[in-house]
Amino acid sequence: AVVSTQSTGAHGDDKGKLVAIVDVIDQNRALVDGPCSGVGRKDINFKALHLTPFTIPIAHSARSGAVRKAWEKAEVTKKWSESTWAKKLASREKRSQLSDFDRFKLMKAKQARNRIINIEFGKLRNAARKAKK
Protein backbone atom coordinates (compact mmCIF):
# COMPACT_ATOMS: atom_id res chain seq x y z
CA ALA A 1 0.00 0.00 0.00
CA VAL A 2 1.57 3.17 -1.19
CA VAL A 3 0.67 6.64 -0.11
CA SER A 4 0.23 9.15 -2.87
CA THR A 5 -0.98 12.69 -3.34
CA GLN A 6 -3.88 13.49 -5.57
CA SER A 7 -2.92 16.24 -7.95
CA THR A 8 -5.32 17.16 -10.67
CA GLY A 9 -8.00 19.69 -11.39
CA ALA A 10 -10.43 16.88 -12.17
CA HIS A 11 -10.98 16.05 -8.53
CA GLY A 12 -10.96 19.70 -7.59
CA ASP A 13 -11.83 19.56 -3.94
CA ASP A 14 -9.54 16.63 -3.23
CA LYS A 15 -6.59 18.18 -4.97
CA GLY A 16 -3.30 17.76 -3.17
CA LYS A 17 -4.66 15.47 -0.46
CA LEU A 18 -2.88 12.37 0.73
CA VAL A 19 -4.48 9.02 0.05
CA ALA A 20 -3.35 5.45 0.33
CA ILE A 21 -3.62 3.09 -2.61
CA VAL A 22 -5.54 0.21 -1.17
CA ASP A 23 -5.96 -1.94 -4.26
CA VAL A 24 -5.54 -1.95 -7.99
CA ILE A 25 -8.65 -2.18 -10.16
CA ASP A 26 -6.98 -2.49 -13.52
CA GLN A 27 -4.09 -1.05 -15.46
CA ASN A 28 -5.36 2.50 -15.18
CA ARG A 29 -7.25 2.71 -11.93
CA ALA A 30 -6.65 2.18 -8.24
CA LEU A 31 -8.90 2.02 -5.25
CA VAL A 32 -7.75 4.74 -2.87
CA ASP A 33 -8.72 5.69 0.64
CA GLY A 34 -7.74 8.70 2.73
CA PRO A 35 -9.32 8.30 6.16
CA CYS A 36 -6.87 10.71 7.78
CA SER A 37 -7.16 13.34 5.07
CA GLY A 38 -10.89 13.42 4.59
CA VAL A 39 -11.02 11.60 1.27
CA GLY A 40 -13.65 8.91 0.95
CA ARG A 41 -12.80 5.55 -0.51
CA LYS A 42 -13.08 5.71 -4.28
CA ASP A 43 -11.65 4.55 -7.55
CA ILE A 44 -9.27 6.93 -9.23
CA ASN A 45 -7.08 6.98 -12.30
CA PHE A 46 -3.34 6.59 -11.77
CA LYS A 47 -2.92 9.72 -13.85
CA ALA A 48 -4.49 11.69 -11.04
CA LEU A 49 -2.02 10.39 -8.48
CA HIS A 50 1.56 11.21 -7.60
CA LEU A 51 3.26 8.45 -5.67
CA THR A 52 5.11 9.41 -2.54
CA PRO A 53 7.93 7.37 -1.03
CA PHE A 54 5.80 6.53 2.01
CA THR A 55 4.16 3.15 2.40
CA ILE A 56 1.92 1.68 5.04
CA PRO A 57 1.63 -2.04 5.71
CA ILE A 58 -1.97 -2.94 4.95
CA ALA A 59 -3.47 -5.93 3.23
CA HIS A 60 -4.96 -5.26 -0.20
CA SER A 61 -8.56 -4.04 -0.01
CA ALA A 62 -8.20 -3.45 3.73
CA ARG A 63 -11.11 -1.55 5.24
CA SER A 64 -10.97 2.13 6.06
CA GLY A 65 -10.53 1.46 9.76
CA ALA A 66 -7.49 -0.72 9.19
CA VAL A 67 -6.04 1.87 6.79
CA ARG A 68 -6.52 4.60 9.38
CA LYS A 69 -4.82 2.55 12.10
CA ALA A 70 -1.83 1.73 9.92
CA TRP A 71 -1.65 5.34 8.71
CA GLU A 72 -1.60 6.77 12.21
CA LYS A 73 0.86 4.16 13.42
CA ALA A 74 3.26 4.99 10.59
CA GLU A 75 2.70 8.73 11.25
CA VAL A 76 2.37 9.36 7.56
CA THR A 77 0.82 12.82 7.80
CA LYS A 78 3.63 13.99 10.05
CA LYS A 79 6.36 12.51 7.86
CA TRP A 80 4.74 13.98 4.79
CA SER A 81 4.54 17.50 6.19
CA GLU A 82 8.22 17.28 7.11
CA SER A 83 9.26 16.25 3.63
CA THR A 84 10.77 18.75 1.19
CA TRP A 85 8.08 17.95 -1.36
CA ALA A 86 5.29 18.94 0.99
CA LYS A 87 7.14 22.07 2.06
CA LYS A 88 7.64 23.09 -1.55
CA LEU A 89 3.94 22.59 -2.22
CA ALA A 90 3.10 24.63 0.83
CA SER A 91 5.39 27.50 -0.15
CA ARG A 92 4.00 27.45 -3.69
CA GLU A 93 0.52 27.63 -2.28
CA LYS A 94 1.48 30.47 0.02
CA ARG A 95 3.11 32.41 -2.79
CA SER A 96 -0.03 32.20 -4.89
CA GLN A 97 -2.09 33.48 -1.96
CA LEU A 98 -0.01 36.62 -1.38
CA SER A 99 -1.75 39.96 -1.46
CA ASP A 100 -0.15 43.01 -3.01
CA PHE A 101 0.94 44.22 0.41
CA ASP A 102 2.50 40.81 1.13
CA ARG A 103 4.40 40.97 -2.12
CA PHE A 104 5.64 44.43 -1.17
CA LYS A 105 6.82 43.10 2.18
CA LEU A 106 8.49 40.20 0.39
CA MET A 107 10.27 42.59 -1.93
CA LYS A 108 11.54 44.63 0.99
CA ALA A 109 12.67 41.52 2.84
CA LYS A 110 14.54 40.27 -0.24
CA GLN A 111 16.11 43.69 -0.64
CA ALA A 112 17.34 43.71 2.95
CA ARG A 113 18.77 40.20 2.62
CA ASN A 114 20.51 40.96 -0.66
CA ARG A 115 22.03 44.13 0.78
CA ILE A 116 23.64 42.15 3.58
CA ILE A 117 24.92 39.55 1.13
CA ASN A 118 26.27 42.12 -1.29
CA ILE A 119 28.06 44.06 1.43
CA GLU A 120 29.81 40.88 2.56
CA PHE A 121 30.56 40.00 -1.04
CA GLY A 122 32.02 43.45 -1.59
CA LYS A 123 34.24 43.07 1.44
CA LEU A 124 35.50 39.69 0.22
CA ARG A 125 36.06 41.08 -3.27
CA ASN A 126 38.04 44.06 -2.01
CA ALA A 127 40.13 41.80 0.22
CA ALA A 128 40.88 39.55 -2.77
CA ARG A 129 41.85 42.56 -4.88
CA LYS A 130 44.18 43.83 -2.20
CA ALA A 131 45.69 40.37 -1.85
CA LYS A 132 46.36 40.28 -5.61
CA LYS A 133 48.18 43.59 -5.55
Partner 1 sequence: MRFKCAELKEYQIVGKPLSKTNEKTPIYKMRIFAPDEIVAKSRFWYFLRQLKKVRKVNGEILRMTLVSNSSPTKIKNFGIWVRYDSRSGSHNMYREYRDVSTTGAVTQCYRDMAARHRARAHSIQIMKVEEVKAGDCKRPIIKQMHNSTLKFPLPHRILKYNKKSIFVAERPSTMQ
Residue 103 has φ and ψ, to the nearest 5°, of -65, -35
Instruction: Examine residue 27 and tell whether it contacts partner 1 (CB under 8 A).
Output: yes
Closest contact distance (angstroms) between CB of 77 and partner 1 is 22
Asked if residue 27 lies in contact with residue 81, where contact means CB atoms within 8 angstroms, the answer is: no
How many C-beta neighbours within 10 Å does residue 54 have? 19
Which residue of 8, 55, 77, 83 would you call a contact of partner 1, by CB under 8 A?
8
Instruction: Examine residue 55 and tell whether it contacts partner 1 (CB under 8 A).
Output: no
Return the number of the residue (26 or 100) whose C-beta is nearest partner 1: 26
Asked if residue 88 lies in contact with residue 52, where contact means CB atoms within 8 angstroms, the answer is: no
Report which of 63, 45, 59 is spatially closest to residue 7, judged by C-alpha positions. 45
Return the number of the residue (26 or 132) whose C-beta is nearest partner 1: 26
Instruction: Examine residue 46 and tell whether it contacts partner 1 (CB under 8 A).
Output: yes
Residue 64: Cβ-neighbour burial (10 angstroms; 0-12, 13-18, 19+): middle
Return the number of the residue (50 or 125) whose C-beta is nearest partner 1: 50
Which residue of 11, 16, 17, 23 would you call a contact of partner 1, by CB under 8 A?
23
Instruction: Examine residue 11 and tell whether it contacts partner 1 (CB under 8 A).
Output: no
Return the number of the residue (25 or 112) whose C-beta is nearest partner 1: 25
